[in-house]
Amino acid sequence: MAKSSADDLDLRRASESAIEDPNQNIIISIRVAKTHGIIGKSSKLTRHMAKPRVLALSTKSKGQSTTAFLRVLKYSTGGVLEPAKLYKLKHLSKVEVITNDPSGCTFTLGFDNLRSQSVAPPLWTMRNIDDRNRLLLCILNTCKDVLGRLPKVVGIDVVEMALWAKENRPSVSTQRNVQDGGPVASAVPENELKVNVEKELVSQAEEEDMEALLGTYVMGVGEAEAFSERLKRELQALEAANVHAILESEPLMDEVMQGLESATICVEDMDEWLGIFNVKLRHMREDIESIETRNNKLVMQSVNNKSLIEELDKLVERLRVPSEFAASLTGSSFDEARMLQNVEACEWLTNALRGIEAPNLDPAYANMRAVKEKRAELEKLKSTFVRRASEFLRNYFASLVDFMISDKSYFSQRGQLKRPDHADLRYKCRTYARLLQHLKSLDKNCLGPLRKAYCSSLNLLLRREAREFANELRASTKASRNPTVWLEGSTGSGQNANATDTSTVSDAYAKMLTIFIPLLVDESSFFAHFMCFEVPTLVPPGGIVNGNKIGYDDDDNDDDLGIMDIDENDSKSGKTSAELAALNESLQDLLDGIQEDFYAVVDWAYKIDPLRCISMHGITERYLSGQKADAAGFVRRLLGDLEARISRQFSRFVDEACHQIERNERNVRQMGVLSYIPRFATLATRMEQYIQGQSRDLVDQAYTKFVSIMFATLEKIAQTDPKYADMFLLENYAAFQNSLYDLANVVPTLAKFYHQASEAYEQACTRHISMIIYYQFERLFQFARRIEDLMFTVASEEIPFQLGLSKMDLRKMLKSSLSGVDKSIAAMYKKLQKNLTSEELLPSLWDKCKKEFLDKYENFAQLVAKIYPTENIPSVAEMRDLLASM
């Protein structure tokens, strides 16, 4: 041990000589047995020898701060130590003992400043465990004393370190400087350095866990050796108990082995018996299968024979034609009393034809001669019946209509309006509804001629009813004709004021729609169902159009044609575009020509009172909005054409009225309010009274066209005499506002034009008043305008020295303009009154004129006060008092 201390002292001195820094304090110097490097990515260490190294732990004080270093020294060629590497302990973050080295002498030091570098952390192998522990204890004590913290310690048994620290308390060589400056080594006991390994290497949490574990054995942390001995004794006791248990279980194992041998012998005997039984059962199974095969063939043959007989019986029954049905299909009449038998025969024929077609008939029967002959016979019966039924129905439809047309009581007559009544006609047609349905299922092509025949016959009846009703409606309506010239300048204003009441005209048109639109919709619906079009019901329950269907006093529901009971699948099929196209084409044939009588009523109403187009447009729009069904396409087109014709007639009236307004341009000179201004107000009031439903857009468009032409004509007339243009414009715009004030409050379109007229009126007033003011005080305000123009380019104090703007010029101008100013104001009033035809406008115009004059004069007074501060002019207050007295 003494020799080791001497070697350490020599090594310390050699280290000090290598460092050559008197401020360095060497704590410990230890030789390293081996240095290491990490090769590749394997976790195993690959060792390689290098030149001998020495690790020296030192501190350096500078003022109050102390820095700790770990120096790596190497031997030169001459055997002298020299510095190789230097590590600062403040960057030391981890001390880890490598577990791959069984000696435990290899450890690594982790520095946080090496993380971003490509080099591996330093790895050392000490000569023995004592050197390792001495070095690590010195590093940890130095980190605590100098840095105030400990690095992370991994792979070191803290209990082992604590025991080693207690057993090895050698003197640690330190150095101190004497008066002659040379370092002298001295021996200091380790306990005097205040190294407490137990407390430095074990954290508080770990110490608590160890105390809890040792507490179960009634031991303390300091009794580690006793704790280790007790654990060894317990381990030996447990191993001895295991050996004893194994020896005791040997007899039991012998018994188990004997039982397994007996069971094996039994299993082998059972396997032999099962093999014998399996052979016997296989032979029995083969015999049973042979017997079952023969039995199954006999049973199958019997069943097939029975099924064949039953199938042949069914086929024979299916191919048989009952005599009563054959008679009905070939020669029976189509009277109402015989219709039940005819329908039953049709049902049988339809089912029979379906029964001999795939997939109802097995394809194996399709080529049998009996089946082919029976199919030909049924086809012949079908064609014969369809031809006879179609011929009968065409004649029947024509005879029904001819009978109704020949009877005048069905139509309107002089002094009596007759509502068309088709209840009896539909009742008689409904008798053959099921027959038509069966004809469709037998031959769809036969319905085309039948539909045309029905439409042709019924069209004659509908046109006759509409013509007679329209003629009598016009003849029975008493109404005086209103004038169509509303805005003509030569027409007296009293003519429009005494316009007669023409409401009976629009009432007559409404009655025409009320009677015939529901009739046409019902006829369309009845035709679509009666003629088997696959479309939904057109007339919803509860009525159509205006919510109150005009009924025809049928005992049964019109929609109950007996069609829905024939084929449920047909009723569920949706309408297709092809069906709708065919239906609309047929409706065109059914109702074509009836629109002419509606047009005649519209033209007749227009001649009596063109403004009634407004109410008729609203009535038509209300009926049009109620027609939503696609199958009523003709009725929608009829209402749309009526609406378009009414709009054209009303547009014709608007165009004529606009031409009446434009004729005012031809007059050579016009003064005062034009005649069409107040007349337009009367016309607008009348138009508002006629508005119904959706006719607001039609009226607003007319208002827009009227007012646009009125304002354009007004501007053109004003341009013919520029001298009086502003006076002319303000009078007419004021009259426009006064006459339309009430209507503008409730009609947005007229309110827009009211505001437009108000703006034009204000502009005309401003221009006219400015002209009158400048006419009387021209020199005054021209002088002010010249000053304002010069102020942009000349300083204010230099303006009095400009030509024509001197103080003398100012005095001359004031003398000529403001001397007798009361007379000038009176002349201005007379000028304003001179050409004004509307006396009610004079007070408001004179107030505007005085306000405008005061504003201009106040501006002039401010300019004079700024440019000519020493000059005196009449104040604004004096001028205001003077104007108030006028």
CA distances from 278 to 273, 274, 540 (A): 9, 6, 81
Structure-token match 């973050």, residue found = 93
Q: Tally the residues of the chain.
A: 886
| Percentage of residues of the chain with pLDDT beyond 70 | 73
- The alpha carbon of residue 241 and the mean position of all alpha carbons in its chain are separated, in whole angstroms, by 81
| Percentage of residues of the chain with pLDDT beyond 90 | 1
Buried b or exposed e, range 846-875, using 16+ CB within 10 angstroms = bebbbebbeebbeebbebbeebbeeeebee
Structure-token match 């608007």, residue found = 654
Collapse the DSSP code of 437 into the 3-class scheme (helix H, G, I; strand E, B; otherwise coil) and give the result: helix
Collapse the DSSP code of 88 into the 3-class scheme (helix H, G, I; strand E, B; otherwise coil) and give the result: strand
pLDDT band per the 50, 70, 90 thresholds, residue 362? low
Supply the pLDDT for residue 565.
38
Digit-coded pLDDT (tens) for 462-481: 888 888 888 888 888 886 76
pLDDT band per the 50, 70, 90 thresholds, residue 444? confident
Q: What is the dihedral of CA 654, 660, 662, 668, to 10 degrees?
A: -170
Supply the pLDDT for residue 116.
52
- State the average pLDDT over residues 121-135: 83
Residue 754 has pLDDT above 60, yes or no: yes
Digit-coded pLDDT (tens) for 23-53: 677 777 777 766 665 433 333 344 444 456 7
Residue 549 has pLDDT above 50, yes or no: no
- State the average pLDDT over residues 386-398: 83
- The alpha carbon of residue 652 and the mean position of all alpha carbons in its chain are separated, in whole angstroms, by 46
Supply the pLDDT for residue 206.
67
Residue 348 has pLDDT above 80, yes or no: no
Burial of residue 454 (CB within 10 Å: 0-12, 13-18, 19+) is: buried
Average pLDDT taken over every residue of the chain: 75
Supply the pLDDT for residue 718.
80
Q: Which residues is 56 bridged to in the sheet?
A: 29, 71
Q: Which residue has the higher pLDDT, 198 or 879?
A: 879
Supply the pLDDT for residue 48.
43
Collapse the DSSP code of 108 into the 3-class scheme (helix H, G, I; strand E, B; otherwise coil) and give the result: strand
> What are the structure tokens assigned to 486, written together?
């509303």
- State the average pLDDT over residues 336-352: 72
Digit-coded pLDDT (tens) for 828-841: 777 777 767 777 77
d(CA 691, CA 374): 72
Supply the pLDDT for residue 853.
80
DSSP secondary structure string, 765-800? HHHHHHHHHHHHSHHHHHHHHHHHHHTTTS-GGGGG
d(CA 777, CA 648): 57
- The alpha carbon of residue 328 and the mean position of all alpha carbons in its chain are separated, in whole angstroms, by 65
Residue 438 has pLDDT above 70, yes or no: yes
Supply the pLDDT for residue 752.
92
Question: In which element (H, E) is residue 512 found?
Answer: helix 503-530
414: which DSSP letter?
T
Supply the pLDDT for residue 315.
65
DSSP secondary structure string, 277-336? HHHHHHHHHHHHHHHHHHHHHHHHHHHHHHHHHHHHHHHHHHH---HHHHHHHHT----G
Digit-coded pLDDT (tens) for 399-435: 888 888 877 666 776 766 778 888 888 888 888 888 8
Contacts for 438 with CB less than 8 Å, ≥ 6 apart: 343, 346, 347, 350, 566
Most confident of 278-287, 379-388, 424-433: 278-287
Digit-coded pLDDT (tens) for 52-80: 678 888 888 877 788 888 888 887 776 77
Checking 73-80 for CB contacts under 8 A at 24+ apart, the result is: 73/15, 73/18, 73/29, 75/51, 80/14, 80/18
Question: In which element (H, E) is residue 152 found?
Answer: strand 152-154
Supply the pLDDT for residue 665.
63
Q: Which amino acid is at 786?
A: R
C-beta separation of 663 from 710 below 8 A: no
Q: Which residue has the higher pLDDT, 100 or 335?
A: 100
Supply the pLDDT for residue 567.
42
Structure-token match 């308390």, residue found = 169
The Cα angle at residue 739 between residues 745 and 689, in degrees rounded to 5:
65
Q: Which residue has the higher pLDDT, 227 or 201?
A: 227
Rg (CA), the chain: 63
- Beta strands 92-97 and 152-154: pairing type? parallel
C-beta separation of 525 from 538 below 8 A: yes
Structure-token match 């590749």, residue found = 40
Digit-coded pLDDT (tens) for 490-508: 444 444 444 577 788 888 8
The Cα angle at residue 129 between residues 128 and 134, in degrees rounded to 5:
105
Digit-coded pLDDT (tens) for 204-220: 676 677 667 666 665 66
DSSP secondary structure string, 463-499? HHHHHHHHHHHHHH---PPPPS-SS-TTS-HHHHHTP
pLDDT band per the 50, 70, 90 thresholds, residue 84? confident
d(CA 474, CA 601): 7
d(CA 803, CA 790): 11
Supply the pLDDT for residue 326.
65
C-beta separation of 455 from 590 below 8 A: yes
Digit-coded pLDDT (tens) for 806-818: 778 777 877 777 7
Residue 381 has pLDDT above 60, yes or no: yes
- State the average pLDDT over residues 527-545: 62
C-beta separation of 805 from 812 below 8 A: no
Buried b or exposed e, range 44-70, using 16+ CB within 10 angstroms = ebeeeeeeebbbbbbbeeeeeeeebbb
Which candidate, 128, 91, 92, places its Cα nearest to that of 109?
Answer: 92
- The alpha carbon of residue 884 and the mean position of all alpha carbons in its chain are separated, in whole angstroms, by 67
Supply the pLDDT for residue 219.
61
Residue 866 has pLDDT above 50, yes or no: yes
Q: Which residue has the higher pLDDT, 408 or 869?
A: 869
Q: Which residue has the higher pLDDT, 699 or 551?
A: 699
Least confident of 55-69, 126-140, 199-213, 275-289: 199-213
